[in-house]
Structure 1
C-alpha cells in the first residue's frame, strides 16, 4: 500500500521514502499498466456512486445564492453538477467574496470538511488579481483566462473561434459594415481574443474595421448611441450587454442587425454564439476529477488550458443584406 501511494503521489508517504520508491521503480523500468489503471478507476467510481465525495465550486466574485446568479452562471453550475453526479461526486457552492471570508479561511473550511478539490469561477469584475487559496492542499481548476495568479489548470470557451464563426456568418448574409461594441474588461480577461478575431476576419480594410470597434470599461447607452450614429454599422456584435434595450426606436433587423456572443435560451430570438456554458462546466469537472484520481495537488508545473467550442444559433435579429 505504501508503494502504491508513493507511485500515485499521495502526500501520506514521507518525502524521503517516496523518493527511494520512485527511484527504485525507475531503475526497474516500471511503467503503469493502463488497463489496470482503467480497472481501478472503474472500481473507485463504483464506490463513489455508493458514497459520493464532495468537491467545491468556489464563486470568486458572487455572494448571492444560486437563485440570483446570472443565466450564464446558472448554466455553468448546472453543467458542472450534472457531470460531477455522473462521475460519482457531489458539488457544493462556496463564496470567496462573502463577508469575512478569505482564501486562507476558505482553504481551512474545505480541508476541515475533507474536500480535496475545487473549481474556481471566473474573475468577472476584473481581469487581473491574485487568489490566495492554499493551493498546495488541493486539486483545482480555474474557469476562464485573465491574468490571475497563480497559473493553474484552466478551462474556457474558445472566444476567438466564436467571433470568427459570427463574422463568417455575417459575411455570408452580405454584411460588410460590421461593428463590435462591448466591455474592455471582458475582452482584456480573454487576452483580446474577441477584438483580435474581429479585426482579423473583418471584410473591410484594417483601418475601417478598427473604426467599427468600440470597447468601453463601462458600456453606456449614451456612448453606444453616439458611436452608432457616427459609424453607421449595418450590424452590431455585442458580448452580452443586451443592446436590444438601447435600441427601442430602431427596427431590428430592418435598420440594424444584432448578434450576441453570449446566446441564451431566454433570448432565443437573437442570432449569435451559444457558448454551451454547461459543457464548459462539465469540462472543468472532468479536468478536476482527473487530478483527483491521480492525487495531484498544488500548483501544476505545466498548467493546461482546455478550450470548449460554441455553436452558431440563427435568429430573428439578422436578415440577408446582399447576395
Structure 2
C-alpha cells in the first residue's frame, strides 16, 4: 500500500518548515510568491492530498476553541455610497450576521467600498491583496443583471443574492421563491380568494423571477372558478397604474414590497386590513405588516461559514459550477391580514 505524502515530507524535500508548507498550500499571502509556487509544484509532483481525518480534527478543534485571528474578510460594497453597513436595513443585517460568525471563526469582517472616486478597479484588487485579504463577500448589487470585474483568481468569493449575473459565484440568500409561496399559502388559509402581486420589474429580475414564479405556482393550484389576477409589474409603479389595476381586478389581498403602495391605498380611501389584506414579501422595518422574515443575519452568518471553508481548501477564483444555499423564511402575520372565511381548497401537493 502506497504511503500517504505528508506536509512534513514536502517540508523536508523543499527544505522549509512545515508551517511554510501549510501557508503555501492555503495560498496565504504570508508565504512569498516564489516559495509558494515551488512548494505547490513539489506537492503536486509528490502526489500530496490532504488527510480528510486530519482536516476534520482541525475543523473540530477550531470550532471548540476560541480561534486566534485568521485574517480579514471583505464585505464588498458596490453601491454609490460608502458606510452602507451602518445605515440599517438589508446590508447592515447581512453585515452584522457575517461579523458575528466571523468573530467565532477568527475572522474580522470589514466593509470595502469599491467605488471611491479616482480608484480604478485593477487597483482595488491590488489593495485587497496588499492587505492580505483572501475572502470576499459580495453584497447585493444595485440592479439586476449586474456585472463585476476584479482579479478573481486571488480570492475566495461568495455572493449574496442573485443580482450579480456575471461572474457567478457560490450564492447565499433568502429563499425568495419559498417566501412568496409561503405567503400565498398563508393567505389562502385565511380565506383570501383574489390575491394580487404588485412589484417593480427590476425586483423580479434581481431574483431571477422567483417572485412571479412562486405566485403563479400557487395561483394555478387554486380552483379554476377563482379569479386569476394578473401581476402588476412595471418599471416603476405609480399611483395611476396601481389604482387602475386595483379597480379593474379588486384584489382582496395584495403582496407588494413597495411602501408607496400603502400610500396609494390610503389616498384611495382603502383601509388595511379591513378592505384589503396587505403583505410585504420581506420584513420592511414595519413589524405591524404581515411579511416573510428573510433572516438576513442568518444569510450573513452562512456566507462566512462557507467562505471560511473555501479559504481552508484554497478554493479561489470563479467556480465551474456554483452552489446555491438558501435560507428558508419565517412567516409573520402582523396586523395587516384578517381571517376571511373558510380556507381556499388547493390542489395537492402545496408544500
Could you say whether these structures have the same fold, taking a TM-score greater than 0.5 normalized by the shorter chain as the test?
Answer: yes
What are structure 2's unaligned runs of at least 5 residues? 1-6, 12-20, 343-351
Change (3 A) 1:155 1:20: same
Q: Which secondary structure does the structure 2 equivalent of 1:160 belong to? A: helix
TM-score (norm 1): 0.87
Question: Which among 124, 132, 143 is matched to residue 114 of structure 1?
Answer: 132
Q: Which residue of 1 aligns with 2:322?
A: 303
Figure out how many residues of one structure are paired with residues of the other and give that number: 316
Q: Please report the TM-score for the alignment, with normalisation by the length of structure 2.
A: 0.81
Unaligned runs of 5+ in 1: none
Shift in Å, 1:17? 6.2
State the distance in 2 between where 1:147 and 1:51 align.
Answer: 30
Tell me, in whole angstroms, the C-alpha distance in 2 between the residues paired with 1:145 and 1:301.
17
- Contact kept? 1:269, 1:317, Cα under 8 Å: yes
Larger Rg: 2
Q: Does 1:263 align with 2:280?
A: no
Q: In angstroms, what is the RMSD of aligned CA positions?
A: 2.7
Distance 1:177 1:296 in 2: 49
* 1:167 equivalent in structure 2: 184
Shift of 1:222: 2.8
Q: Secondary structure at the match of 1:41?
A: helix
CA distance in 2, matches of 1:102, 1:154: 26
Residues 252 and 258, structure 1, Cα contact 8 Å, conserved in 2: yes
Q: What is the SS of the residue equivalent to 2:311?
A: helix
Structure 2: distance between partners of 1:220 and 1:73: 26
Q: Counterparts of 1:137-286 in structure 2 under 5 Å?
A: 137-146=154-163, 148-202=165-219, 203=222, 205=224, 208-209=227-228, 211-248=229-266, 249-264=269-284, 266-286=285-305
For residue 297 of structure 1, report the CA deviation from its aligned partner.
1.4
- What displacement does 1:140 show? 0.9
Note the alpha carbon deviations across 1:225-251, whole angstroms, 9 max, x for none. 221122111010012445323222321
The answer to whether the 8 A contact 1:144-1:157 is kept is: yes
TM-superposed deviation, 1:156: 1.9
- State the Cα distance separating 1:283 from its structure 2 match: 1.0
Mean Cα displacement is larger for which, 266-275 or 162-171?
266-275
